[in-house]
C-alpha cells in the first residue's frame, strides 16, 4: 500500500488580501438586519426606537468592560497605551482640566431624547434576556480568549462608521421628535471608530500570519457579527419589524 504524502498547508494570504477578507465579512454586519433597516429608513415607531435604545445600552456599558479585559490580558505596553483610550471614550474622564463625559453618558442623553428616563435605562428593566445573554457572552469571550483574538473580535468597527453615518443622515428627517443633541453619540463614534479600526487592524494583521491563524481570525470576527445580529433578532422578535 502506497503511503500518502502529507498535504502541504495552504499559503497564508498577504496582508492586503487578508484585510480584504476581513472587510468582506461586512456583508454579515447588522446594518443589513431588517430591524436596523427599519430604524434607519424611518419605519420604526417611537416604541421600537425606545426599545432599541434601551437594549443597546446593555451593550454600550459592556464595551469598556470588554476593553478592560483585553488590557488585563495584554502584556504589550505599546498596545495597552493605545487601547486604554477606548475605555476613556466610553466611561469619560477628567484629566488636567479636560473633561469628556464619554459615550455612555452620550447614550443616556440619546435615551432621554427618545423619551426614556435615565432610571429605566440604567436599571436595564427593558433589556431582553437574549440581548443580555449575547452581551455577556461577548464579555466572557474577551476575558478568556487570547488577547489578540479579543482584539480581532472588535473589528466589527470596520463597518461601524457607515451605520452611524446612516443614522445621522436619516434620523433627523424621519424622527423629528428626537432632539438633535441626542444624536451626539453617533457623531462622536464616526471618527472614534475609524481611529479604533486602525489599531485593531494593525494587531490582527501582525499576529494572524499563518493560514490556520487567519481562518481563526475570520471565525472570531464572524462570532462577533453573529452576536450583533442575534441582538437584533431578539429585538425584532420583541418589538416587531414594520413592512
What pLDDT shows up at residue 162? 93
Q: What is the mean pLDDT of the chain?
A: 95
- pLDDT score of 201: 97
Predicted TM-score (pTM) of this structure: 0.93
pLDDT value for 9: 75
Mean pLDDT of 212-222: 98
Over residues 93-113, the mean pLDDT reads: 93
pLDDT, tens digit, for every residue of 141-166? 999 999 999 999 999 999 999 999 99
Return the H-helix or E-strand segment holding 98. strand 98-100
**pLDDT tens for residues 82-97?**
999 999 999 998 888 8
Secondary structure, 3-state, 12-40 = CCCHHHHHHHHHHHHHHCHHHCHHHHHHH
Amino acid at each position: 500500500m502506497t503511503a500518502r504524502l502529507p498535504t502541504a498547508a495552504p499559503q497564508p494570504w498577504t496582508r492586503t488580501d487578508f484585510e480584504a477578507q476581513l472587510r468582506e465579512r461586512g456583508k454579515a454586519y447588522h446594518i443589513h438586519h431588517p430591524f436596523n433597516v427599519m430604524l434607519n429608513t424611518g419605519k420604526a415607531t417611537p416604541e421600537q426606537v425606545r426599545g432599541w435604545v434601551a437594549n443597546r445600552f446593555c451593550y454600550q456599558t459592556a464595551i469598556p468592560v470588554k476593553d478592560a479585559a483585553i488590557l488585563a490580558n495584554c502584556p504589550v505596553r505599546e498596545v495597552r497605551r493605545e487601547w486604554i483610550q477606548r475605555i476613556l471614550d466610553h466611561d469619560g474622564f477628567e484629566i488636567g482640566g479636560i473633561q469628556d463625559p464619554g459615550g455612555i453618558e452620550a447614550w443616556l442623553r440619546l435615551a432621554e431624547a427618545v423619551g426614556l428616563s435615565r432610571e429605566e435605562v440604567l436599571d436595564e428593566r427593558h433589556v431582553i434576556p437574549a440581548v443580555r445573554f449575547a452581551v455577556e457572552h461577548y464579555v466572557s469571550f474577551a476575558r478568556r480568549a487570547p488577547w489578540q483574538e479579543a482584539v480581532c473580535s472588535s473589528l466589527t468597527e470596520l463597518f461601524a462608521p457607515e451605520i452611524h453615518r446612516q443614522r445621522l443622515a436619516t434620523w433627523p428627517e424621519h424622527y423629528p421628535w428626537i432632539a438633535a443633541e441626542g444624536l451626539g453619540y453617533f457623531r462622536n463614534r464616526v471618527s472614534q471608530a475609524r481611529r479604533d479600526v486602525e489599531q485593531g487592524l494593525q494587531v490582527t494583521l501582525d499576529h494572524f500570519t499563518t493560514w490556520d491563524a487567519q481562518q481563526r481570525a475570520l471565525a472570531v470576527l464572524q462570532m462577533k457579527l453573529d452576536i450583533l445580529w442575534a441582538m437584533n433578532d431578539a429585538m425584532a422578535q420583541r418589538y416587531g419589524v414594520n413592512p
